[in-house]
Amino acid sequence: MKLVSWNVNGVRAAVKKGAPEALRLINADIVCLQEIKAKPEQMPKELMEWEGYTAFVNAAERPGYSGVAVFTKEAPQRVAYGLEIARFDSEGRTLIMDYPHFRLFNCYFPNGGNGPERLQYKMDFYEATLEYARSSDKPLIVCGDVNTAHREIDLARPKENEKNTGFLPEEREWIDRFLAAGFLDSFRLFNQEGGHYSWWDMKTRARERNIGWRIDYFLVAEELKDRIRDAYILPEVQGSDHCPVVLEIGE
């Protein structure tokens, strides 16, 4: 089974830039999108009527903001729209789906910019996610834009960003604790090299120079380790300031 996760930074804009064609070439069984910035009725028909897939959308209350979607070939056994915490669920950041061998947690984690209140919101969301993960009664696959680079190897300019959100000690320490709770950074099972990123600042044309950050992940429960076949990044895929990341698991 192939799963793909992609922050599309506005699904309607991404469709105009060729996202449906790119996703068809990837040919994943489950497609997880973040930051769709659209209500269900605003979602492009190219995706909502995608042959062979069933669509699920969790939109933010605020128009043109946040939101996640899943397109799946296999019908999930159960779907939950959010964490049942109003202050988080109003931003449409999470879709949770049960499959026979795992529970999928597609999430657009908050950005910690725009002041201390928003950073605290991000850290509170992190803690709620960790609590959920610890209490899950099925092996969990967490995917999405985590909005934090874990280690120095995960961004091009670590020293310059030590005091910036996305690479703050407390943000990175949360990833440490999440992995310690029984999860694997699937990409690092197959690749320990630097220079592999999933987000680039478009304003500075950083993608052309590969001055990026790896902030999109598949974090997989250790119980599923023997099922993991591959995990990789697709930096050549355009359509967003992020690129897709992929997880392949055995049945």
CATH for 224: 3.60.10.10
Whole-number Å distance between alpha carbons of 92 and 82: 7
> Residue 5: what are its φ and ψ, rounded to 5°?
-125, 135
Domain that holds residue 56: 2-249
Please give the pLDDT value at position 251.
78
Tokens of 114: 């725009």
Nearest to 148 by CA among 128, 169, 127: 169
List, in sequence order, every residue forming a beta bridge with 69; answer none if it has no partner.
Answer: 33, 57
Cα atoms in the Cβ-side hemisphere of radius 13 Å centred on 249: 25
CB contact at 8 A, 96 and 72:
no
CB contact at 8 A, 142 and 94:
no
> Residue 226: what are its φ and ψ, rounded to 5°?
-70, -15
Query: pLDDT digit string (tens) for 193-248?
Result: 999 999 999 999 999 999 999 999 999 999 999 999 999 999 999 999 999 999 99
Please give the pLDDT value at position 170.
98
Which segments of the chain have a pLDDT < 50?
A: none
Please give the pLDDT value at position 241.
97
Please give the pLDDT value at position 39.
97
Q: How far is CA 242 from CA 140, 161, 194, in A?
A: 23, 19, 17
Q: Which are the contacts of 104, defined by CB distance < 8 A and separation ≥ 6?
A: 3, 30, 32, 70, 76, 95, 96, 97, 98, 140, 141, 143
Task: Tally the domains of the chain.
Answer: 1
Sequence letter at residue 73: K
Q: Which are the contacts of 163, defined by CB distance < 8 A and separation ≥ 6?
A: none
145 given a catalytic annotation? yes
Tokens 């988080």: give the residue: 88
Catalytic-labelled residue, pool 124, 137, 145, 216: 145
Please give the pLDDT value at position 114.
85
Contacts of range 55-60, beta carbons closer than 8 Å, 24 or more positions apart = 56/95, 56/97, 58/82, 58/92, 58/93, 58/94, 58/95, 59/92, 60/90, 60/91, 60/92, 60/93
